[in-house]
Amino acid sequence: MERGLWMSRYTFSRFVTIGRVALINYGPDSGKLATIIDVVDENKALVEGPYSVTGVNRHVISFKRLALTDLTVKIPRQAREATLKKALVKADILNKWAATAWSKKTEAKKTRAGLSDFGRFKSMIARKQKSALIKKAIATAKKN
């Protein structure tokens, strides 16, 4: 394999840009989506939800507390809340995010964490039943 092709396949592709949608992974807004409005310096960015859409107010946050997504919105620097809201609705960002595997995994983790003891027991029984059905199907496939 050529060196250029190998490098292009494994290089980082999510860069900090104005309009990049990010997931906040630490702090009071943890688990919420925010859009990068402006870059303050090499360590911090100005982000906003907006609050009416994702529940995140405009504030400065460290890049260490953000996880960049593949989703972007075309907005100018320092865009106002109404402009950002229109762009998010037009680009259908929330539905695109809900369709990603990343979003589905985080929702599954939240539901699993919220289960009671009986809920965990029911899920264990369901897993065992599913496993038994798979084993039975494999056994019949091997016979034939």
Q: Which amino acid, residue 136?
A: K
- At residue 3 the predicted structure's pLDDT band, cuts being 50, 70 and 90, is low
Q: Rounded distance, CA 10 to CA 33, Å?
A: 26
Taking only Cα atoms into account, the Rg of the chain, rounded to an integer number of angstroms, comes to 21
Task: Indicate whether 61 belongs to any domain.
Answer: yes
Task: Indicate whether 58 belongs to any domain.
Answer: yes
pLDDT digit string, tens, across residues 39-80: 999 999 999 999 999 999 999 999 999 999 999 999 999 999
Task: Indicate whether 109 belongs to any domain.
Answer: no
Task: Indicate whether 121 belongs to any domain.
Answer: no
pLDDT of residue 144: 80
CATH number, domain with residue 77: 2.30.30.30
Q: How many domains does the chain have?
A: 1
* Structure tokens, 140: 């019949």
Listing DSSP states for 91-125 in one string gives HTHHHHHHTSHHHHHHHHHHHHHT--HHHHHHHHH
Task: Indicate whether 64 belongs to any domain.
Answer: yes
User: Stretch 21-45: mean pLDDT, rounded?
Assistant: 95
Q: What percent of the chain shows pLDDT beyond 90?
A: 87
* Structure tokens, 115: 């289960």
18 pLDDT above the threshold of 90? yes
Q: Rounded distance, CA 33 to CA 41, Å?
A: 21
Q: Rounded distance, CA 100 to CA 32, Å?
A: 15
pLDDT of residue 37: 97
pLDDT digit string, tens, across residues 100-142: 999 999 999 999 999 999 999 999 999 999 999 999 999 999 9
4 pLDDT above the threshold of 90? no
5 pLDDT above the threshold of 90? no
Task: Indicate whether 33 belongs to any domain.
Answer: yes
Task: Indicate whether 131 belongs to any domain.
Answer: no
Task: Indicate whether 73 belongs to any domain.
Answer: yes
- Those residues whose C-beta lies under 8 Å from the C-beta of residue 91, and which sit 6 or more positions away, are 71, 73, 74
User: Are 32 and 56 in contact, with CB atoms under 8 Å apart?
Assistant: yes
Q: Which domain holds residue 19?
A: 3-93
1 pLDDT above the threshold of 90? no
